Chains A and B, each alone.
Chain A
Amino acid sequence: MQNSSLSPQRRSYLDSLESEAIHVFREVVSQFRRPVMLYSIGKDSSVLLHLARKAFHPGSIPFPLLHIDTTWKFKEMIEFRDRICAELGLDLLVHTNLEGLAAQINPFDHGSQTYTDIMKTDALKQALTRGNHDAAFGGARRDEERSRAKERIFSFRDSNHRWDPKNQRPELWNLYNGKVSDGESIRVFPISNWTELDVWHYIHLENIEIVPLYLAAPRPIVEREQNLIMVDDARFPLRPKEQPRTRSVRFRTLGCYPLSGAIESIASTVPEVIQEMLLDRHSERQGRIIDHDQLASMEEKKREGYF
């Protein structure tokens, strides 16, 4: 950010975080042969993309973006993805687990756990293996969930993409060990040290474009088990007597629409979202249905290769 040069003695918090992330991006491009950036189209991915542009300016981003398309993403997300990639001239790779698709795996009939395993985790592993990627950027943050608090910025994965929380490389100063053997890889988290508030604040300050679903608008909603689910297309199997109602909602996190819980809101600008978020007292992943399955569920998904 431009104001960084005004206060050399005391650097502002977001400047420090931004510089740290840029440093990580540059380090990966120097150390790896085939890096790729996981692009989920969410707000963290948007921040990641913005930071990547900064890291290599005035050059272009020297690696492709990878989107794991489960085919159940919000329509607006896919539109947003295609438009942003076209506008910025980005190299976008899209991967879908075709076996899963052929078996018609979906979140309604197979449950969130099985669906996520096959259409997200397996798909991701397939794409990383096929692309022979030795490094993959992700937008995970240590504040998201308790098992993430111990995650490294350079997180080693074996040739099965598995994470071993007991056997992580020590990470000192800002010297990142990117050495891997064939088939092994590193997941890289440039915004590890950011909080949800930092991400939103940065989006606001830098005027970063995000999918409009993050802002409140009238949307067709059904309520199930206290989750507000948006009926994004005709594939949504409505139960008897179930009718979508138009409600003013927004999403805290975006993924597959049947698994993304909305919250009632009238916050239609980024500062208003921040305000609501700070006045509300629930954490970010509450709207993500997969997490309710079990205690520390994220840790298990991470061990298996989920981001």
Chain B
Amino acid sequence: MFESDPLIESDIDAYLDQRVRKDLVRFITCGSVDDGKSTLIGRLLHDSQLIADDHLETLKTDSQRRTGTDDIDLSLVTDGLKAEREQGITIDVAYQYFSTRHRNFIIADTPGHEQYTRNMATGASTADLAVILIDARKGVVQQTRRHSYLAALLGVKHIVIAVNKMDLVDYSEQRYLEIVAEYTEYSANLNIESLEYIPLSALHGDNVVESSEVMPWFVGPTLIDYLNAVEVAVPISTNEFRLPVQLVLRSGADFRGYAGSITSGQIHRGDRVTVLPSGVSSTVQRIVTFDGDLDMASAGDAIAVTLGDEIDMSRGDLLVKEGENVELDTSIAATIIWMADKPLDLGEQLILQSHNGTANVRVDTVRYLLDVNTGQKAKATALQLNEIAECSISADRKLLFESYESNRAGGSFILINRISNSTVAAGMIAGPLSPWDQAPKDSLEVQDSEIGALERQLRYRQRPCTVLLTGLTGAGKSSIATALERCLFDRGNSTVRLDGENVRLGISKDLGFTAVDRSENLRRVAEIAHLMNSQGLIAIAALLAPQAEARARARQLVGADQWVEVFLDTPLSVCRSRDTTGLYEAADRGDIEEFPGVSATYEAPEDADLRLDTSDMTVDRCVEVIVTLLKEKGFIHE
């Protein structure tokens, strides 16, 4: 590594003092094969005078051999392996190092090949920033979208769009602005914290290190100016303190230190901490390092702590601030990037490795394949090399985790093949697996009935279905459900009524009224309705069911062709005035949290089979309309 600071010659000690204070920025470069990415990196190093003379000599020899001219091919600076160099392509992640007067940089150079999603993900996993190249002649192409999508998926916060080969479009400002507009529109849906555009020519050096004289219309920073200035440090909040224990250090009879690298937040001597998953609390007695004890340590520090109490703690346990908690569950929903040639085998045993140690897991379902080119989701059941999917994973023990979005270290994992030991996937956790998605145990089988569906239809003189009455508290769900049940009974139909309140007295008595619990309550009701339908009965479910997602899942569970959704669309004021039990007032006071209509949203159905405004309809009239619909749909006879 070479640096060109005048202090080196005049005062080496001052230079070194200054160098100690530099920080570290890790970035990835991505672009299509012909975007000139290798040339850009070569240009950065060359113009920063960071290529050693003997390397330069080798480059000249190599360049001559390949092109037959004396010009140095700057793309050769970063091409590492011999075979690849001969093919003229880079096929893996290569790391390059360079520094400026302000900063030190690690570049992960990742290839633009279509089939190498895994390399890009590898580089992005540790990057603060991504430089995405666009060929000015071609504009935003599929690979631009792919790279941007992956960078955002892996949580890279800052993206700089290097519009390269401006020399080939006559340094046209108009062309540059077209590309900016095109990319800005595309990237609006991506989760990117900061976005910067720079028009440049890596071949000629415009706007890489030196400002371009031929693009006076561009007033922004050069690439190197941008890299020097961008703020990548994450603000530290003390509540986020996380120390995954790597190993327990012992020395002598008394010393027992919990060693690891702090992944987020900050800790002080004397702080109260809790060990997860055991939940036992203690006090930080010492923060131990080779250079002496510290009063405080923060994210990135590799330390060891000792605690005031004797606690059983081992590798994979997590130390957090007292009162903090993370998820603990055997099932997770995660986005995984498949990195092995052999496709995923659903149900095959894999090893999951995270900061929580290792566990035996299996991927139970692949739910959606994510199209990195369009960002669209598609239903899928298989997963192949370089594909990305939302999956459900279950483990043979409880895993400690957080969502990747809220905490990169707490939400990342790799999957390892148990036979080859190779790393086959990288994963980012979305959260605990919703009960809707959990797979039943392998050993279970359906116990079939001897009575067929047709036999039941003939006996009961009806086709089974589930009627969901959904709406705000006070909309009239229970009243209509009771009246509908009476009406159908009197007509000779066989029904079962599932009132939200009734199920909470028994089968759902463990649930509260949070969004998660309401969703679970609906799931249980839907499961029961499904069982009842399979026995030939008509189920009438009266439930607030405020979430569109949960209603859609219930519809799917029961079967769309047996599902009748009735939306009681009654104005909130009317619902409030009907409330005799004081629920709305309690919600207003904050005594009840997450109350739909007050402190939580009721997502009105857009695709209901019926919409009834009970403020100007009687209960009987409502029942009449519903019964008419059931006849029309052929569930009951005329």
Chain A residues in contact with chain B, CB under 8 A?
1-5, 8-20, 22-23, 26-27, 29-30, 53-60, 142-143, 146-150, 165-166, 168-175, 177, 179-181, 184, 192-193, 195-198, 201, 204-205, 271-272, 274-275, 278-279, 281-283, 286, 295-296, 299
Contacts and interface: CB of A to CB of B under 8 A. Distances in A.
Given A23-B246, A30-B246, A172-B122, A146 B80 contact: yes
Contacts of A15: 300-301
Interface string B42-76: 00000000001111001000000000000000000
26 contacts: A2-B289, A5-B298, A9-B236, A10-B23, A14-B20, A20-B302, A22-B302, A56-B249, A57-B304, A60-B251, A147-B81, A148-B80, A149-B80, A150-B81, A170-B414, A171-B122, A175-B354, A175-B355, A197-B3, A201-B20, A204-B16, A271-B16, A275-B9, A281-B2, A281-B53, A286-B54
B421 A180 contact: yes
A165 B95 contact: no
Given A57-B289, A175-B413, A5 B295 contact: yes
Contacts of B78: 149
Contacts of A166: 91
Given A56-B249, A147-B82, A8 B236 contact: yes
Nearest to B96: A149
Interface string B393-426: 0000000000000001100111010000111001
A275 B14 CA distance: 11
Interface of B: prevailing SS:
mixed
Contact of A11 (B103, B121, B300, B339): B300
A76 to B, nearest CB: 25
Nearest to B418: A179
B2 A169 contact: no
Interface in B1-46: 1-3, 8-9, 12-13, 16, 19-24
B246 A57 contact: no
A12 B12 contact: no
A201 to B, nearest CB: 6
A55 B16 contact: no
B239 to A, nearest CB: 14
Nearest to B357: A30
Given A11-B23, A172-B125, 11 more contacts: A4-B294, A12-B23, A13-B23, A26-B246, A54-B289, A57-B289, A177-B423, A180-B421, A192-B95, A204-B16, A283-B55
A258 B21 CA distance: 40
Given A30-B246, A174-B126, A177-B421, A1 B354 contact: no
A16 B93 CA distance: 21
Q: How large is the interface on B (under 10, 10 to 19, 20 to 34, 35 or more residues)?
A: 35 or more
Contact of B351 (A12, A142, A179, A296): A179
A155 to B, nearest CB: 13
A8 B266 contact: yes
A26 to B, nearest CB: 4
A274 B1 CA distance: 11
A26 B302 contact: yes
A150 B80 contact: yes
Contacts of B298: 5, 8
Nearest to A8: B298
B247 A4 contact: no
B23 A201 contact: no
A272 to B, nearest CB: 7
Contact of A172 (B233, B249, B426): B426
Interface centre among A11, A23, A172, A195 (most CB of B within 10 A): A172
A300 to B, nearest CB: 8
